[in-house]
């Protein structure tokens, strides 16, 4: 039981897969047909070129018999292309045949006229013309003669409403099919198509399809009866109620008919009806409109009646589809408009938000810049305070040291003076005073200590100061020398003492001397002289 279930499931899957593949193939075929319909003028021009070549050949015909044969080729081209022109050629052939007084070719001319009359929808007149054909031995073996009777009765059967008359025409169809089967070669298209058609009339669809498929698979693409066989496939599948495969073969038949530039054909019209029933309204309307254009071009007026039966229905459905599509388009346009308005509103809202954010960002950036400046200023101030504290520590230490030494020195002098006073010797007092070190030597010692402490705080001062001077004017320190007078003045400026009078008092210089030293350095500077002091304070 389980095996049967698995087998059944696999079979169903295979069937669904095959159906899906067929639908994909049919969709591709329909797309191909759509493109061929758009390019059908190209195929028409090709047939017109072939007709023009035959007409040029007709001019050079040596006799009426050759002309009759060339007109036969032209008739074949026109019989499914332009019915009115085909009638003119058929009558020309008949006239030539009567002039030649050849019974066999007269029969061919009469059959051509009957063929065109049937295509014009004049079935009774076609039968009258066929009745004029002499039943010679050649005629009785001519499949074209029986084909015409078969086709005329088929047209009568399709047009007839009365049941009894339809039954009569059906019986005639069977009889002529049997005759065509009997006189046709077993491997000929006439035999195969009539054999399969006869089986189809008996309800033997599968057998007919098998026979036709075997023959069709061996046919070449240029087979003249290819479209006829494809159309017969569709009729057999329609007899089986298999519209999917019928649509496939009608599509192939329509492709073949359009490739051959036929204007009088049924495949595209029948395909349009099937597509309409499936709900493919747009394509059905396109195909039925194409069929109507081709019928008008081919002057097959009786076909217009068949098309007119479905054209209003398909057109109405297509108009309804267009209206529905317009409503959908309007609806989507409305939705799109709402979306666009929403997007525009959102855009301006976001833009406004972005502007606010940008302003906030710029404000924060400005605040950050200010904070950074404040941080840098604080860092610089801390550095300067640290430097100032260091300077203070060094020079306060120097001051205490000098004061201590001075106090110690004064105490010694006091003791010596006291001793001298106690002894009462003025000569000793004078000698002692002469031996005391002078004030200038004390000042030199003070300056030396100042220079030493300054260079310990700013060890690169001399090199840095020289970078502010022209290369040839830079100060060269002598051996055993710490600072020159000029450097010492600017050392005081680096320590924050910028006033000339204070510098003069500190260094025991005159005010003019300080001014001259500073002016001298300004002239040697590579920067504007007034900026020299400011640059020194940054060293």
Please give the pLDDT value at position 348.
Answer: 87
Residues 65 and 61: their CA atoms lie apart, in Å, by 9
Give the number of other CB atoms < 10 A from CB of residue 530. Answer: 9
Residues 76 and 345: their CA atoms lie apart, in Å, by 70
Radius of gyration of the chain (CA): 62
Residues 155 and 202 sit within 8 Å (Cβ to Cβ): no
Return the closest-CA partner of residue 353 out of 361, 363, 365: 361
Token readout for 21 is: 């593949």
Q: What is the DSSP letter of 437?
A: P
Q: What is the mean pLDDT of each run of 10 residues along the chain (539 residues)?
A: 50 44 74 91 91 90 90 90 91 91 92 91 91 91 92 87 90 91 90 91 92 89 85 91 93 90 85 87 86 81 64 68 76 87 89 85 86 80 67 58 62 68 65 60 80 84 86 82 85 85 86 88 83 81
Residues 293 and 298: their CA atoms lie apart, in Å, by 9
Residues 152 and 132: their CA atoms lie apart, in Å, by 15
Please give the pLDDT value at position 332.
Answer: 83
Please give the pLDDT value at position 23.
Answer: 56
Please give the pLDDT value at position 429.
Answer: 62
* Helices of type H across 436-510: 439-457, 461-466, 485-494, 500-507
- What is the value of pTM for the model shown? 0.58
Cα 18 to Cα 13, 21, 110, 258, 267: the distances in Å are 9, 5, 50, 28, 25
Residues 434 and 424: their CA atoms lie apart, in Å, by 17
* Helices of type H across 217-300: 226-239, 243-259, 267-278, 281-298
Residues 249 and 237 sit within 8 Å (Cβ to Cβ): yes
Residues 254 and 271 sit within 8 Å (Cβ to Cβ): yes
Please give the pLDDT value at position 311.
Answer: 62
Residues 190 and 184 sit within 8 Å (Cβ to Cβ): yes
């Amino acid at each position: 039981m389980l095996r049967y279930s698995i087998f059944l499931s696999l079979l169903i899957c295979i069937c669904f897969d095959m159906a899906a593949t067929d639908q994909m193939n049919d969709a591709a075929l329909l797309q191909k047909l759509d493109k061929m319909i758009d390019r059908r003028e190209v195929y028409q021009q090709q047939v017109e070129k072939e007709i023009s070549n035959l007409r040029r050949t007709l001019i050079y015909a040596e006799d009426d018999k050759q002309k009759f044969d060339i007109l036969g080729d032209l008739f074949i081209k026109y019989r499914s292309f332009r019915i009115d022109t085909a009638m003119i050629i058929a009558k020309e052939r008949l006239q030539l045949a009567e002039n030649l007084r050849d019974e066999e070719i007269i029969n061919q001319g009469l059959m051509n006229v009957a063929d065109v009359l049937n295509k014009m929808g004049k079935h009774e007149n076609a039968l009258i013309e066929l009745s004029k054909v002499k039943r010679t031995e050649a005629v009785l073996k001519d499949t074209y003669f029986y084909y015409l009777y078969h086709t005329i009765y088929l047209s009568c059967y399709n047009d007839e409403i009365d049941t009894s008359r339809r039954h009569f025409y059906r019986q005639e169809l069977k009889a002529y099919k049997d005759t065509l089967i009997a006189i046709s070669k077993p491997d000929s298209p006439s035999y195969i198509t009539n054999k399969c058609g006869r089986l189809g009339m008996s309800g033997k669809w599968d057998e007919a399809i098998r026979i036709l498929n075997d023959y069709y698979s061996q046919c070449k693409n240029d087979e003249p009866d290819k479209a006829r066989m494809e159309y017969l496939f569709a009729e057999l599948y329609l007899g089986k109620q298999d519209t999917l495969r019928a649509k496939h073969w009608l599509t192939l038949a329509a492709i073949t008919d359009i490739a051959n530039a036929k204007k009088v054909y049924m495949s595209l019209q029948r395909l349009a009806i099937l597509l309409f029933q499936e709900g493919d309204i747009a394509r059905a309307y396109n195909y039925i409109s194409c069929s109507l254009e081709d019928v008008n071009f081919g002057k097959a007026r009786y076909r217009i009646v068949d098309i007119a039966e479905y054209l209003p229905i398909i057109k109405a459905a297509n108009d309804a589809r267009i209206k529905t599509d317009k409503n959908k388009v309007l609806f989507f346009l409305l939705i799109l408009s709402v979306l666009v308005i929403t997007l525009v509103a959102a855009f301006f809202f976001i833009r406004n938000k972005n502007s606010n954010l940008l302003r906030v960002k710029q404000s924060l950036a400005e605040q950050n810049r200010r904070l950074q400046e404040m941080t840098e200023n604080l860092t610089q101030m801390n550095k300067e305070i640290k430097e100032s504290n260091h300077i203070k520590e060094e020079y306060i230490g120097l001051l205490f040291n000098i004061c201590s030494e001075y106090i110690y020195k004064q105490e010694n002098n006091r003791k010596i003076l006291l001793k001298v006073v106690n002894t009462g010797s003025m000569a000793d007092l004078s000698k002692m005073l002469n031996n005391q070190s002078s004030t200038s030597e004390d000042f030199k010692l003070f300056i030396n200590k100042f220079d030493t402490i300054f260079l310990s705080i700013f060890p690169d001062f001399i090199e840095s100061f020289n970078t502010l001077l022209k290369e040839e004017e830079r100060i060269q320190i002598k051996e055993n020398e710490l600072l020159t007078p000029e450097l010492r003045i600017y050392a005081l400026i680096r320590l924050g003492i910028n006033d000339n009078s204070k510098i003069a008092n500190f260094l025991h210089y005159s005010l003019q001397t300080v001014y001259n030293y500073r002016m001298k350095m300004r002239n040697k500077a590579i920067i504007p002289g007034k900026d020299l002091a400011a640059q020194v304070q940054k060293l």
